[in-house]
Amino acid sequence: MHSASSQRKKIFITFTSLFYSASYRNATIENVSTENSATTNNDFRAACFHCGECCTIHQALVEEHEIQRIADYLGISFEKLVSECTDRRWPIKGKFLLRHSGESGCIFLTQHNKEFLCSIHTVKPHPCSDWEAALSRKECRRGLSKVWGLTVDESCEICGTEHDKKAFTEHMHSIKA
């Protein structure tokens, strides 16, 4: 008979494996259009809002070669990056969870005014580069509401005051340029 703790760990590992294996392999923020376009699962993709919600809610599961690439980019040793930037509670050898800094999210997430940016964007690990922003994702909707005061209706139309929608549209155009 399994203990409750080992059962929770098994469920967590299974969930995490499913979450990251379901990622879209070739999608990046740069190749996702700012216009709504239907995908095969009736999802509406969108450019990243730079709200930081996905980086705050989820911990990226990173492989050794990605840790080395990030360490090289930062000019630090593999060991130092593992020691200072990964969650030591992760039980699987050769895989690492990027550490979160309190409620601020990923240790590499930085905020500039309303915009949240990745300080290792150039070498970000595959769970991060595979993430597709979408108006149907609860994380994107929560970020849109929290940062811009906007909501999304059932047809994936962005709703809010004209002022807030205009500010958001201007922001999206500025990051697309």
Distance CA 131, CA 2 (A): 34
Find the mean pLDDT for residues 2-26: 34
DSSP 100: B
**Amino acid at the residue 138:** K
Comparing 20 with 59, the larger pLDDT belongs to: 59
Residues 30 and 95: their CA atoms lie apart, in Å, by: 26
What crossing angle do the helices spanning 138-148 and 162-176 adopt, rounded to 10°?
Answer: 110
Q: Note the pLDDT of residue 44.
A: 58
The pLDDT of residue 14 is 29
> What is d(CA 45, CA 39) in angstroms, rounded to the nearest whole number?
7
**Could you tell me the two tokens for 137?**
């994702």
Q: Which residue has the higher pLDDT, 37 or 69?
A: 69
